Structure 1
Amino acid sequence: MIHGSIHLIEDLCTSCMICARECPTWCITLTSHQEQTVPAPGARPRTHNVLDTFTIDWSLCMYCGVCIEQCPTDALEWGGAHVPSAPRLTDLIHSRDRLRPPASGA
């Protein structure tokens, strides 16, 4: 198994924040909001979290995999090679669009 970059599978993320809390370097930041679902007739309304932002600061990441191991929904997975160096630290902060796994097939 290659311990390189980390991919976020957004459809599986429930915004539980376990990855961010368990990260030893606190390199993961995420925000979310709650939305109410329309229940079936006679059922009570329910809410669920919707992911707004998700970032990983690769300048802090130790590539330890604790976030991947602790994710209860398997929304995080190992990607390919390590994230390449960058001329500025801010270039090492990747948001959801850069953390998506590459499209399969095509």
Structure 2
Amino acid sequence: MIHGSIALIEDACTSCMICARECPTWCITLTSHMEQMVPAPGARPRTHNVLDTFTIDWALCMYCGVCIEQCPTDALEWAGAHVAPASSLAELAHGREQLGGGGA
């Protein structure tokens, strides 16, 4: 597989933040919030994380793949295309829309 950009599989992401913590350049940022799930009748209520934002700053990323290897839910994968050049550093910070995760 070509080590180009990294794609987010948003449905698989549990907002555990392992990718952000393990990244050697700290190029990944994410935010989430807790929501309460309504389980089957008689079961205790449970909470789970809901992903709000997920950003990779390609100006900092060194394309090592540590985030992909460490993700316990396989929510990150190599995408074949390289990241396109940009005219400013701010344009190299890609959010959920550019990473293939869609938007909310």
Category of TM-score, reference length = shorter chain: over 0.9
State the SS of the aligned residue for 1:99: coil
Matched, 1:91 2:91: yes
| TM-score (normalised: structure 2) | 0.94
Distance 1:92 1:99 in 2: 12
| TM-score (normalised: structure 1) | 0.92
Structure 1 letter corresponding to 2:64: C
Structure 2 letter corresponding to 1:29: T
Instruction: Return the offset for 1:82.
Output: 1.9
State the SS of the aligned residue for 1:97: coil
Residue equivalent to 2:49: 49
TM superposition outliers: structure 1 runs of 4+ over 3 Å: none
Q: Please, which runs of 5 or more residues in structure 1 have no aligned partner?
A: 102-106
State the SS of the aligned residue for 2:19: helix
Residue equivalent to 1:15: 15
Matched, 1:63 2:77: no
Counterparts of residues 30-45 of structure 1 (less than 5 Å): 30-45=30-45
Matched, 1:79 2:79: yes
Distance 1:42 1:84 in 2: 52
Instruction: Return the offset for 1:81.
Output: 2.6
State the SS of the aligned residue for 2:87: coil
Distance 1:96 1:2 in 2: 21
Q: CA RMSD in A?
A: 0.9
Distance 2:10 2:81 in 1: 21
Q: Please, which runs of 5 or more residues in structure 2 have no aligned partner?
A: none
State the SS of the aligned residue for 1:32: strand
